[in-house]
Amino acid sequence: MEKKELIDLVDRECKKKSFTPCRIISIVVQIAFSLIVIILLIYLLWLIRDTVLMYALELPEDARIGYLVGQLLTFGAISIAIIGIIVSFSLNLKLNKSTIDELVDWYYKKLLKVHCYIEAKDRPILKALIKMKYAEFDFSLSEICQRNPLLFEDEVLLKNLYKS
């Protein structure tokens, strides 16, 4: 298979930066777990609020303020826990290097499965092209190849394949 055909194949098939099926399942489980924890924490806050209000009304005037301040700190701690869960979840959704490597492997296997006519000698080049595509996803490999064909020589592609 010609290198130009491989470049066009990668540009055509790797259209969007997406998640692999395994990553999607992981995200759904994480969303479900986070929602359950947040709902439980909100319910806990509601119970604490009701208990605090009922108990605070029974206290003498001078003890009420100290008790309410202590309960306010509890509310703050639970609220910080909720915010922490949300922030950790949003940070986990970012595509980090291991996720990009996972995407490269997934697209490589997918392309080999769909396009089984790709010869064994072209497979490392294909994987290097997919890796190059995901390194700078917004650019077309065809356009980059027209501007700088030296980047697409076999030696350079294979060298970049094993570069971390």
Domain boundary among 41, 70, 92: 92
Contacts 24+ apart (CB under 8 A), 2-9: 3/125, 3/152, 3/154, 4/145, 6/118, 6/122, 6/125, 6/126, 6/129, 7/129, 7/141, 7/142, 7/145, 7/152, 8/142, 9/111, 9/115, 9/126
As a whole-number percent, the residues of the chain with pLDDT over 90 amount to: 3
Domain-ending residue, one of 92, 125, 151: 92
Judgement on whether residues 88 and 25 belong to the same structural domain of the protein: yes
Q: Are residues 39 and 77 in the same domain?
A: yes
- 80 with 103, same domain: the answer is no
Q: What is the pLDDT of residue 97?
A: 61
* pLDDT at 98 (0 to 100): 67
What pTM did the predictor assign?
Answer: 0.56
pLDDT of residue 90: 67
Residues 88 and 105 grouped into a single domain: no
Q: How sure is the predictor about 17, in pLDDT bands with cuts at 50, 70 and 90?
A: low
Query: Does pLDDT of 51 surpass 60?
Result: yes
Verify that 29 and 76 share a domain, yes or no. Answer: yes
Q: Which domain holds residue 123?
A: 3-16+96-161
Q: For 63-100, how does the pLDDT look when each residue is reduced to its tens digit (9 = 90+)?
A: 777 777 777 777 788 888 878 777 776 666 655 566 77
Render pLDDT for 99-157 as a digit per residue (tens, 0 to 9).
778 888 888 888 888 888 888 888 999 999 988 888 777 788 888 889 998 988 989 98
Whether residue 83 is found in the same domain as residue 125: no
For residue 8, the model assigns a pLDDT of 85
Number of domains in the chain: 2
**83 and 26 share one domain:** yes
